[in-house]
Amino acid sequence: MKQTLYDKLWDHHLVKQWKDGTALIYIDRHLLHEVTSPQAFAGLREENRLPRRPQANVATVDHAIPTTRSERSAGIVGIGDDDARLQVQTLDEYCHYFDIRQYGIQHAWQGIVHVIGPELGLTLPGMTVVCGDSHTTTHGAFSSLAHGIGTSEVEHVLATQCLVRKKMKNMQVVITGQLPKHVSAKDVVLALISQIGNAGGQGHAIEFAGNVVSELSIEGRMTLCNMAIEAGARVGLVAVDDRTVDYFHNRPFAPSGEYWHRAERYWRSLTSDTDAYFDKVYSMDVSEMEPQVSWGTSPDMVVPISGKIPDPQAQSDAGVRSAMEQALTYMDLVPGTSISDIALDRIFIGSCTNARIEDLRAAAAILKGKRIAKSLKQALVVPGSQQVKRQAEKEALDQIFIAAGMEWREPGCSMCLAMNADKLENGERCASTSNRNFEGRQGYGGRTHLVSPAMAAAAAVAGHFVDCRFIAPEVAH
């Protein structure tokens, strides 16, 4: 039988299959953070249960922690917000109690779960990975079968090292053509979601394929897979190739010596067989693609930078029409407005979608030697992890941001979900490299436009949206 990559990963982790289709899947790596795990740990303790395999779990703090140096330098006690401090404290206590490895608030490897997993080699090709966070899809970029789960499932995985699942269908998204310069993986995935819709991948594991995907870096592939969930797919995948193998060379927890060779041999088998069957196939050519900007309150409400705000009246589906109208009201936008006429209050460069070193480099390339617009209230750059932060500082990218008038912060989720002090005020508008533009996501009444790092940087310079290619210096890459 010809198998897809998803079929293979599934089979390799099948502990038990019931007749009704339910299966028990073994989990190799479980990532935890402070927001969706305390209740799971509490449940475990109430039932007098222990984690089945403490070594398979790794925790860090990212969602609720502050990102200012002053608050962070004092560790847990330095967290000003009582509730956030309690969460971080609770995670710390449970990790201690259950003997679970944690990269805590002051650890040199702390960062957003989905950034530190791959960069430390904690998540590897061929692993099953879960985390109480929907963007766990990220880890599929190097052929790990990665699911976002709820808190009850977090508890279940802790106690049993397994997940109860039904197999999903296979979907292939084939991305071909020549990606124009300064148009990035983020633009591709935003355009894709706008085409297939926010439920276009529901019930499916999406495998991204095609020459454009092969040519993307692992970081770019992570951006693609990260946002698979915004198309409703619980799993996003990219097959293993040379780039994947190279990426894991010398990562702290990647195998070494004899194990490296065995692992590499196995990893290289992680591709879909030629002619494997996909229930759905979607193809897109990106040669003409422009940078993309979301205009509404759902990640499928996206237009190219040269576009205009769409008119709900042109929609035949009543549900879509009313959702669009509601989005326009919330976003305070009128149909026909040019995207480049939208002025901004804040800029956010960060999140598990776009806060890896490559993203910071792309933003810095645009910002070098420039100042951000005076009309902006704030422009935040929040690296995805301590390692990314150190690397960026080594390359003096932080100096570029600071010289431009931006704030260089400590790693965390920050304004992606605004659980800490980094948030939009009521009515403010933000160009953000994160993944969700839902109402209130970045702060009560705040308005989010999703863009790539280069587009966020360009918007910072102009104070409104502008095609980053007009601002980019034509340096030879």
Partner 1 sequence: MEKFVCHCGIVAPVDQVDVNTDVIIPKQFLKSIYRTGYGENLFDSLRYLDEGVLGQGAKNRAINKEFPLNFPRYADASILLTQRNFGCGSSREHAVWALRDYGFRALIAPRFADIFASNCVKNGVLAVELPETTVKKLFEALYRQPNYQLTIDLQTCRITSDDGINIVFTMDPSIRERLLHGWDDIAVTLQEADAIHQFELQQQKKYPWLWSPLKGQSR
**Residue count (the chain):** 477
Number of residues that bind partner 1 (CB under 8 A): 88
Choice from 70, 283, 322, 337 touching partner 1 (CB under 8 A): 322
Can you say how many angstroms the Cα of residue 180 is from the centroid of all Cα atoms in its chain? 22
Choice from 63, 221, 389, 441 touching ligand SF4 (CB under 6 A): 63
Contacts of 59 (CB under 8 A, 6+ apart): 31, 32, 33, 37, 91, 95, 100, 101, 102, 103
Encode burial over 151-173: b for 16+ CB neighbours within 10 A, e otherwise.
bebbbbbbbbbbbebebbebbbb
Indicate the residue among 206 and 213 with the shorter CB distance to partner 1: 206
Considering only 53-61, 192-200, 296-304, 412-420, which stretch makes contact with ligand SF4 by CB under 6 A? 412-420
Q: Select from partner 1, ligand SF4, none the partner in contact with residue 61, using the beta carbon and a kind-dependent cut-off of 5 to 8 Å.
A: none
Q: Select from ligand SF4, partner 1, none the partner in contact with residue 126, using the beta carbon and a kind-dependent cut-off of 5 to 8 Å.
A: partner 1
Indicate the residue among 183 and 417 with the shorter CB distance to ligand SF4: 417
Residue appearing with tokens 């193998």: 245
Can you say how many angstroms the Cα of residue 40 is from the centroid of all Cα atoms in its chain? 23
Indicate the residue among 8 and 447 with the shorter CB distance to ligand SF4: 447
User: Binding of partner 1 at residue 279 (CB under 8 A)?
Assistant: no
Residue appearing with tokens 């401090």: 85
Name residues contacting ligand SF4, limited to 100-129 (CB under 6 A).
112, 114
Q: How far apart are CA 346 and CA 24, in angstroms?
A: 46
Choice from 36, 67, 161, 351 touching ligand SF4 (CB under 6 A): 351
Closest residue by Cα to residue 91 from 47, 162, 39, 29: 39
Sort 459 into a burial class: Cβ within 10 Å, 0-12 / 13-18 / 19+: buried
User: Binding of partner 1 at residue 449 (CB under 8 A)?
Assistant: no
User: Binding of partner 1 at residue 315 (CB under 8 A)?
Assistant: no
Element (H, E) at 449: strand 447-450
Considering only 204-212, 230-238, 311-319, 411-419, which stretch makes contact with ligand SF4 by CB under 6 A? 411-419
Name residues contacting partner 1, limited to 195-214 (CB under 8 A).
198-199, 202-203
CB of 159 to partner 1, least distance (A): 5
Indicate the residue among 199 and 334 with the shorter CB distance to partner 1: 199
User: Binding of ligand SF4 at residue 165 (CB under 6 A)?
Assistant: no
CB of 276 to ligand SF4, least distance (A): 31
Name residues contacting partner 1, limited to 346-375 (CB under 8 A).
none
Grouping H, G, I as helix, E, B as strand and the rest as coil, residue 354 is coil
User: Binding of partner 1 at residue 166 (CB under 8 A)?
Assistant: yes
Q: How far apart are CA 273 and CA 270, in angstroms?
A: 9
Considering only 42-50, 74-82, 119-127, 410-418, which stretch makes contact with ligand SF4 by CB under 6 A? 410-418
The two structure tokens encoding residue 41? 């740990």
Q: Select from ligand SF4, partner 1, none the partner in contact with residue 49, using the beta carbon and a kind-dependent cut-off of 5 to 8 Å.
A: partner 1
CB of 107 to ligand SF4, least distance (A): 17
Element (H, E) at 132: none
| ∠ Cα 409 357 367 (to 5°) | 70
CB of 133 to ligand SF4, least distance (A): 5
Name residues contacting partner 1, limited to 67-96 (CB under 8 A).
81, 83-84, 86-87, 90, 92, 95-96
DSSP alpha helix (H) spans, 291-448? 318-331, 357-367, 386-394, 397-404
User: Binding of ligand SF4 at residue 423 (CB under 6 A)?
Assistant: no
The two structure tokens encoding residue 116? 């530190």
**C-alpha atoms less than 13 angstroms from C-alpha of 264 in its C-beta half-sphere:** 15
User: Binding of ligand SF4 at residue 416 (CB under 6 A)?
Assistant: yes
Sort 288 into a burial class: Cβ within 10 Å, 0-12 / 13-18 / 19+: exposed
Number of residues that bind ligand SF4 (CB under 6 A): 13
Question: DSSP class of residue 33?
Answer: -
Encode burial over 368-393: b for 16+ CB neighbours within 10 A, e otherwise.
bebebbeebebbbbbbbbbbbbebbe
CB of 63 to ligand SF4, least distance (A): 5
Name residues contacting partner 1, limited to 146-165 (CB under 8 A).
148-153, 155-156, 159-162, 164
Q: How far apart are CA 86 and CA 89, in angstroms?
A: 5
CB of 381 to ligand SF4, least distance (A): 14
Please provide the DSSP assignment of 220-279 as one string. HHHHHHHGGGGGT-SEEE----HHHHHHHTT-TTS--HHHHHHHHHHHTT-SPPTT---S
Choice from 392, 417, 455, 461 touching ligand SF4 (CB under 6 A): 417
CB of 5 to partner 1, least distance (A): 17
User: Binding of ligand SF4 at residue 227 (CB under 6 A)?
Assistant: no
DSSP alpha helix (H) spans, 275-341? 318-331
User: Binding of ligand SF4 at residue 388 (CB under 6 A)?
Assistant: no
User: Binding of ligand SF4 at residue 381 (CB under 6 A)?
Assistant: no
Beta bridge partners of 183: none
Residues that bind ligand SF4 (CB under 6 A): 62-63, 112, 114, 133, 135, 351-352, 413, 416-417, 434-435
